[in-house]
Structure 1
């Protein structure tokens, strides 16, 4: 398992090993012992699987309020996405900054997005399937969102002429400044 820190050090790209032959391949996409050895002691409680039929589907920017805040481990089983995490922790040196990583079935990479970060993605290919683990159960009462195109955040979504395809809920999401945000930076959360 390869671990790569992003420009936001708490957001981590992980590439599991993949072993193949003429029959196909085998991969441990998650192994609790290896994750603990790498310094990630997370308890996953739910797996989600999302199919997006078209390129340009934007599912962003989402988070849950405490006590249902979620760490997420995101990967792509088919297709490609531009996956984004935004630091929403008040007092963080990176508050309001974002990082984007292309996740794909071909690259076999994953993104670990911790609590206190907004998360979203845009599909880059039709029929893209995203699978992600979360550390707290889905709770509609705690679910919140921020506009994917908030100019204050300035996320460079690779639309390339595509019109973003959004849910009504994402289209109506508030700006980063207006969103309910209880997250506060804790220096001890930064990895060594």
Structure 2
């Protein structure tokens, strides 16, 4: 398993070692010890989610209040998606930037993103199936979104016409979320992760 940091602090790309023969393929798509060694602390698992999406569906940009936030470990088990991590942490050196990683059922890569980072993806195939492990459970009222089509972010979605949920389409821009105090701070996220690292 190869784990490499992305340019946004707290985000990592994970490439598993696949073992294949005429019967099929075997791989370890998640190893708590390998991830903990790279990230600096274990991923405390609280919830596992799975979604299927039609081609050109864009889900996100989603994030949760910190603390406790919601770290995620994301992979695409069927089809392919473009997975996007967005730094929405006020005061971060890379605030307002994004990075994309293709996830599919061939390379079997995964993405880890720490608490406080925004997450989104675009389905590149029909029925794209994404599975993700989360460090905390869903908490209504503490989960938020940023407009994935915000021109200031300038995410280059590989979709002719991105298909959004009503909720995602109505989400504020990054600037609007910043002005209303909705975004987590880099300092609060760092302090929370330090606390997690000590437990």
The normalised TM-score by structure 1 is 0.90
Return the structure number with greater helix share.
2
Q: Which residue of 2 is the match for residue 157 of structure 1?
A: 157
Q: Which residue of 2 is the match for residue 183 of structure 1?
A: 185
Tell me, yes or no, if the aligned pair for 2:66 and 2:115 is still in contact at 8 Å. no
Tell me, yes or no, if the aligned pair for 2:91 and 2:185 is still in contact at 8 Å. no
Tell me, yes or no, if the aligned pair for 1:71 and 1:135 is still in contact at 8 Å. yes
How many pairs were matched up? Answer: 186
1:129-148 to 2 correspondence within 5 Å?
A: 129-148=129-148
Quote the Cα distance in structure 1 between the aligned partners of 2:171 and 2:58: 13
Which SS does the other structure have where 2:174 is aligned? coil
1:12-23 to 2 correspondence within 5 Å?
A: 12-23=12-23
Tell me, yes or no, if the aligned pair for 2:16 and 2:108 is still in contact at 8 Å. yes
Displacement of 1:135: 0.5
Structure 2 unaligned spans of 5+: 194-199
Tell me, yes or no, if the aligned pair for 1:68 and 1:138 is still in contact at 8 Å. no
Displacement of 1:72: 0.6
Displacement of 1:38: 2.7
Q: Which residue of 2 is the match for residue 47 of structure 1?
A: 48
Question: Can you list the C-alpha shifts for 1:96-120, whole angstroms capped at 9, x where unaligned?
Answer: 0110111111111001111121100
Q: Which residue of 2 is the match for residue 88 of structure 1?
A: 88
Quote the Cα distance in structure 2 between the aligned partners of 1:70 and 1:120: 14
Quote the Cα distance in structure 1 between the aligned partners of 2:38 and 2:67: 25
Q: Which residue of 1 is the match for residue 197 of structure 2?
A: none
The normalised TM-score by structure 2 is 0.87
Tell me, yes or no, if the aligned pair for 1:63 and 1:70 is still in contact at 8 Å. yes
Do the aligned partners of residues 116 and 16 (structure 1) sit closer, same or farther apart at CA in structure 2, a change above 3 Å counting?
A: same
Quote the Cα distance in structure 2 between the aligned partners of 1:61 and 1:187: 21
Question: Can you list the C-alpha shifts for 1:128-165, whole angstroms capped at 9, x where unaligned?
Answer: 00000110101122110000011111111112xx2111
